[in-house]
Structure 1
C-alpha cells in the first residue's frame, strides 16, 4: 500500500466531519426552505457515509480483513463515494444564493459546505485514479504470471519428454544395413 494513502484517508474523514458539522449548523439555524431541503440532508448523509462506512473500510479492510477487501470492492466503494460527493456539491452549489445575496451566517455555512464537499469529491477522485490503476496493474501482473507459469510448464514438459525418449540414431544406426 502506498505510504500517503493513510494520511489522505484521515483528511477525507476530517472533511466528512466538517460537512456533518456544517450541514447540522444549517439545519439547526435556518427555518426556511433550507431547513427541509433534501440537498442539505443528502450532504449530511454523504458526510456520515464517508466518516462511518467508506473511510474506515477503505483504510482498515486491507490491513485487518484482507479477505473482504477484494480488488473490485475497494474501487467500487471509491467510485460510489466520489459520485455521491459530486452529486452533493453540485446540487448544493446550484441552489445556494449568489455571494452578494448571502448576508446571514447560515448562508456562509452553505457556501463553506459547498467548498468542503467539492474538495472531498476531488480527494476521492484522486484516490479513485490509484485504485483503478491498481486493478489494471493486478490484471497485467496476473496475466504475466500465468504466461510465465505456462512457459515454464511447457519447458519442463519438453525436458522430461527429451529425457525419457531414446535417441533415434542409436536404434537405427548404420550397423543394421
Structure 2
C-alpha cells in the first residue's frame, strides 16, 4: 500500500466527523431527509469505510480482497457524491440563505465535495492496484508455464 494513503484516511475520517457534527446541527432544518442521509454517510465513513480500508490490508489480509477494497471505495465515493449534490440542489441561493443552520449546510456541501474528491483519488489508485496485480499474476502464470516441461515429457519420464 502506498505510504501517502494513510494520512488521506485520517483526513477522510476527520472530515466525516465534521460532517456528522454539521448534520447533527442542521437536523432540524426543512431539508432533514438529506441531512439525515449526510449523517448516515458520515457515520458509514467513520465507523465502517475508513477502518476497513485502512486496517484490513495490514491486519486482516484475507478479508481485504482485491475487489472488495475498490468496491468499498466506490460505494463510499458514491454516497459522498450523492449527498453533496442533494444538499446543493435543495438549499436556497447563498444570498437568500440566512441563519446559522444554512451556513452549516453550505459548509457541509464544501466538506462533502472535498471528501468525494479524496475518495475518488484513493479509488483511482485502488483500481490501478487491481489492474497491476492482475497483470502481474498473468505474467507469473506464463513464466511458470514456460519453466515446466510439457505433460507428455513428464509422463514419459515417470513410466521409464
Give the alignment's TM-score, normalised by structure 2: 0.92
Other structure's SS at 2:66 match:
coil
Cα distance in structure 2, aligned partners of 1:146 and 1:66: 22
The answer to whether structure 1 residue 149 and structure 2 residue 105 are counterparts is no
The answer to whether structure 1 residue 33 and structure 2 residue 33 are counterparts is no
Per-residue deviation, 1:97: 0.9
Q: Count matched residues.
A: 159
1:21 match: 21
Q: Which has the larger radius of gyration?
A: 1
The answer to whether structure 1 residue 58 and structure 2 residue 47 are counterparts is no
The answer to whether structure 1 residue 74 and structure 2 residue 69 are counterparts is yes
* TM-superposition CA deviations, 1:116-136 (whole Å, max 9, x none): 000000000000000100111
1:133 match: 128
Q: How does 1:48-127 map to 2 (within 5 A)?
A: 48-127=43-122
Per-residue deviation, 1:158: 6.4
Give the alignment's TM-score, normalised by structure 1: 0.84
Cα distance in structure 2, aligned partners of 1:73 and 1:154: 37
Other structure's SS at 2:148 match:
helix
Other structure's SS at 1:154 match:
coil
Cα distance in structure 2, aligned partners of 1:61 and 1:147: 30
Per-residue deviation, 1:143: 0.3
Per-residue deviation, 1:102: 1.4
Backbone CA RMSD of aligned residues: 2.1
1:2 match: 2
Q: How does 1:41-52 map to 2 (within 5 A)?
A: 41-52=36-47
| Unaligned runs of at least 5 residues, structure 2 | none
Runs of 4+ in 1 over 2 A off after TM superposition: none
Cα distance in structure 1, aligned partners of 2:53 and 2:141: 29
